[in-house]
Structures are given as structure tokens and as C-alpha cells.
A and B are shown apart, each in its own frame.
Chain A
Amino acid sequence: MNLIDVQNLHFSYPEGIELLKGIDLAFDHRSTAIIGQNGAGKTTFVKLLKGLLKPVSGDILINGVNTKEISVAKLAAHIGLVFQNPGDQIFKSSVYDEVIFGPHNIGIPEDEADESTKKALIEVGLENKVNDNPYDLSFSERKLISIASILAMNTQIVLLDEPTIAQDDYGKQLIQGLVRKLEGEGRLVISILHDMDFVAETFTRTLVFQNGKVTMDNDTKSVFSQTEAVRRAYLEPPHVTQLGNRLGYTETYLTAEQFVKDSLRKREEFKQ
């Protein structure tokens, strides 16, 4: 059974234009990036997956359960969402209280909640800031608190809305490690991203949203190999892919390391 099934999903706000126009998708445990222009419907889509919004028509099944038939509170034990703006999520006066709120809220016993909270804070590198007020910390640290809050709930599905905003290379590597670890554990990570280099280096599958529809859905390399289609969605391929394209290479490169390795190999072959 798929972790998520989305069937002919349509959504619009009351008296608003249609934001999602018939989406059919199935999600297994592969880490999945959602990319697309600002306003393409990406955030609306993940809010629907989380059950915060309900479809106008069509269905979303989480582990086979229709989001229309389950409360957001009950769904929270299965699916966690890290918001784009941590200010939409953080409301406690200490980092520890903020992160343990989720586990408490879904009824995880105290000892277990404490343990998963401490573990999540170590995973995001904030174990030395447990007593700090989140609003005394930087924006990038508040993003990491939001991520820890969701990790601590140990949900099968983790949704991330632009997790790399304001992160430096250390923060990005940390998030990359988390995505790979969760994927390795068979848990599904779906993340909205604008950083194409990060998508290329991190995610197994990539979806392109455009004007409320999914216009591309494939493994990440295949998506970025279709440069013209990517550009039609108002996106740009990763920088290293662009370099390969400009040099006329047929191979689609997703990392600098692979580019260098292949170039050196080809040069050796040429010399021989």
C-alpha cells in the first residue's frame, strides 16, 4: 500500500480561483522534492496532505485513510509538517517545551516524549540550547527548532516547506543527512524547495508543479535532464547541470563530484 494516494485532487478557497486542478499522485517511501514557481500551489498541496485544508473534490488517502474522514489531531500522529515560516509554528518560551509539545499532543508517554525530544534536538544540533527562548535565536535556528518539533513526533511522513531557507552550508548538510536517514528508515519525506542544487544532491524523486498541476514526475536526474521542460515551469536546472549542458554533454550531472570524476575518466580515455 502506498503511504499517500492523491486522487483527482481539486482545491480552491471560497470564491477564489482554482489553485489545484486535478492532481493524481502516489507516494512510497522515496524522498520527494516538490519544485515550482512561487504561487504554483506547492504550499497549498502540502497543507492538504496534512489535512489542514480539505479537498473541494477528489481524495487524499494517508495510509489508506481519507483525510476527509479523520481529524487533523488524529492525522498528526502519522504526518508532520514543518511550516515555511517558523513563526507560524513556534509559540512556547523554551526550545525544549516547543519541541516536546508535539509528542505530548499526540499522546506519546512522558518518558518516550522526553527521549525523542532530546534525540531530535541532537539531530538538529540544538542540544545546547534547550532552555533558550526560540525568539532569542536566529531565524535559521528557529527553522531547525521547527524541524526538531516534527522529528520528535516520529511520524511516518514528514513534510518540509522550504527547510533550507536561511541555512548555511552546515545547516543544509545537516538537513540533507536527516532526509537521507529518514528515507533509509522507510519514512517518507516530501519537501518543497527552491534550491535546485540541494534538490539534485538530496532527493530521489522530483515533482514539478505549475499552475496547480503536476507537469513532471520522475527520478530527480530524469527531471533535470529535460532542461527545456524545467525552464517552461519557470525553473532553472542545478548549476552543475547547466555547466554540463553548456558544454554539450549528454550526461545530466547532479553533483560536482560526479562531474569531476567523469571528466577525469574521459580525459584519461582520450589520452590512451
Chain B
Amino acid sequence: MSKVVVNNLKYRYPLTENLAINGLTFEIEQGELIGIIGRNGAGKSTLCAALTGLVPHFFKGAYGGSVHIDGINVKESKLSYISREVGIVFQNPFTQMTGAKETVKEELAFGLENLGVPKLEMLRRIEDALNLLEIDHLRDKNPLELSGGQMQRVAIASILVMHPGLLVLDEPTSQLDPQGTAEVFRAIKKLSNQGMTIIMVEHKIEEIAEYADRVMFLDNGKIVAFDTPTNVFSMNHLEEHGLRPPVFTRVCKGLGIRDLSGLYPVTLSEAVNEVQKFNESD
């Protein structure tokens, strides 16, 4: 059984005319790392809300089709139940902080206390998350006094401690410096390799090309493509859907470097190999 099964999902926000997502059908397997890309307004954040049950339990409006996580229908389950299985990290980390805790460590304990997790287990999970996100040095700081990038990593950690089977991240690295971004992507890949299913919305297309198993490209509430990064970024007419492919792909397209199937390099190492061959060829 697939981890996530979405069938003909449609949703329209209250008091609006257009469908924010319009007939999505797809499946995601356990342990996959999925990148969701597309221009603003494409339906990315709405899909995140539908996967975590915020649509339709919190955001009302018109809902059609279905979302199943581990065989459980999200619409027919209680939000409190879904939130044990699915974790979401919001786009703006400020909205994720409880505002009620004075240290990062207490902030990370908040969700676990709510679930009644035993103290020793709670401490172990907090230490693991602090180490994985490399924020151990922030443990005694006030969450609301952190920089945007630091807060973003605390927001991710506060969800990781809950050990969700499915982790949904909405632009989790938008406020991080380049090395912080790389650290978060490495941590996410590690979690994915350990079996966690991860779905992340990202505009950082080069990182998505490097790390995602598959890429879902949305536009106007519909799936334009859902395939490997190589297949998606090698498509023609991406710009018509508001997407600039990774710089490595753009360079190779400009140089006419593609394989026999018409596919272009999408990552740094692929581009280095192929441009080297190009330079050495007649």
C-alpha cells in the first residue's frame, strides 16, 4: 500500500471563485523524498494543507476527491489523529512558534508534552533533533529572539521530535544562509533514507534537482509533471509555466548537451562531467 494516495482532489477556498487545486491524482511511496515546485499561486501550499488535514478541517470551502495517508481518509479522520501521523513545517517559522515557551528546549518539548510522551523518551528525541539540525548551541535561547534562519531550524526540529511518518515542509530553507540550507537538505535526505516520507515545497530548484527522488510540478492547481528531476527539468516549455530550470540544465541546454533520450544534466556533478566531455569533443 502506498504511503499517500490522492484521488481527483479538488479544493476551493471559501469566498473564492477558482479551484486552488483542480483534480490531483497521484501516489507516494514510503521513504520517498518529493519536491513540489511551481510558481506562486500554483497550489503548492494548498496541497500541503490538504495532506495534513488543515484542508478541509481548518480551512473550510468546497472539497472533492480524497486523500489517504496509510489507508486513512484524511477528510473522515479527526485533525488530532492526523497530526500524530503527519507533521507540517510552515513557510513562516514565526507562525510555528508557540510563543509560550522561553527556551528552544521547552519549545521542542511542547508537542511531546501534549501527546503525553514519557520524560526520558522526550529528552532523547529533543537531543536527537537538536543534533540533526545542528542547533544544539541554541537550546537555552528564547525562540522568539532567534534570527530568521535559526528559528526556521527550530521550527523543523519541533516537528521532527514528534516522529511523523509523513513530514510536509513548506519552503523550509527560505531564510537560511547557503550552508544552513545545505545542512537542512542533508538532514532531510538522511531522514528520508531512514524511511521517513517527506514532501517539501521549494523554490531552490538546484537543491531539489540534487536531493529529490521525484518532483511534482504544479501550475494552476494541476500537475504539469510528476517524475524524476531529470525528466521534469528536461521538459520543453517550462518557462511558459513560470519555471526556470536549474542553472546546470540551462547551461547544458544552451550548449546543446543532452543524451540520446533528449535528457539534460540537472545537478552540478552531472553538468561537470558532460561539459568536460563537450569541451574535449571535436
Residues of chain B lying within 8 A (CB to CB) of residue A259: 251, 254
A47 within 8 A of B: no
A197 within 8 A of B: yes
Secondary structure at the B interface, as helix, strand, loop or mixed, is helix
Q: Mark B160-178, 1 if CB is under 8 A from A, else 0.
A: 0000000000010011111
Establish whether residues A38 and B39, one from each chain, have CB atoms under 8 Å apart when the complex forms.
Answer: no
Residues of chain B lying within 8 A (CB to CB) of residue A236: 178-179, 182
B80 within 8 A of A: no
Residues of chain B lying within 8 A (CB to CB) of residue A266: 279
B224 within 8 A of A: no
Q: A168-B39, A243-B247, A243-B271 are in contact. Are A139 and B92 (CB under 8 A)?
A: yes
* Interface size range of chain A in the complex: 35 or more
B94 within 8 A of A: yes
Residues of chain B lying within 8 A (CB to CB) of residue A73: none
Residues of chain B lying within 8 A (CB to CB) of residue A43: 147
A85 CA / B248 CA spacing, docked (Å):
31
Q: A236-B182, A267-B279 are in contact. Are A170 and B148 (CB under 8 A)?
A: no
Closest beta carbon of chain B to A29's beta carbon, Å = 27
Stretch at the interface among B68-76, B124-132, B238-246: B238-246
A243 CA / B250 CA spacing, docked (Å):
12
Q: Which of A215-272 contact B (CB under 8 A)?
A: 234-236, 238-240, 242-243, 246-247, 256-257, 259-260, 263-264, 266-267, 271
Establish whether residues B41 and A138, one from each chain, have CB atoms under 8 Å apart when the complex forms.
Answer: yes
Secondary structure at the A interface, as helix, strand, loop or mixed, is helix
A167 CA / B174 CA spacing, docked (Å):
9
- With beta carbons under 8 angstroms apart, the residue of A87, A140, A197, A240 that contacts B251 is A240
A-B pair number, CB within 8 angstroms: 117
Establish whether residues B203 and A168, one from each chain, have CB atoms under 8 Å apart when the complex forms.
Answer: yes
Residues of chain B lying within 8 A (CB to CB) of residue A167: 40, 203
Which 9 residue pairs across A and B have the least CB separation, nearest first?
A38-B149, A260-B254, A236-B178, A168-B39, A256-B250, A239-B247, A246-B272, A169-B244, A234-B179
Residues of A in contact with B (beta carbons under 8 Å apart): 35-39, 43, 84-85, 87, 138-141, 162, 165-171, 194, 196-197, 234-236, 238-240, 242-243, 246-247, 256-257, 259-260, 263-264, 266-267, 271
A84-B175, A138-B40, A239-B248 given; 13 more Cβ-contact pairs under 8 Å: A37-B179, A38-B175, A38-B177, A43-B147, A139-B92, A166-B174, A234-B177, A235-B177, A236-B178, A257-B254, A259-B254, A263-B279, A264-B254
Could you pull out 21 A-B pairs where Cβ atoms are within 8 angstroms? A38-B176, A139-B91, A162-B175, A166-B171, A166-B174, A166-B203, A167-B40, A167-B203, A168-B38, A169-B244, A194-B175, A196-B178, A236-B179, A239-B246, A239-B268, A243-B268, A247-B276, A260-B250, A260-B251, A264-B255, A267-B278
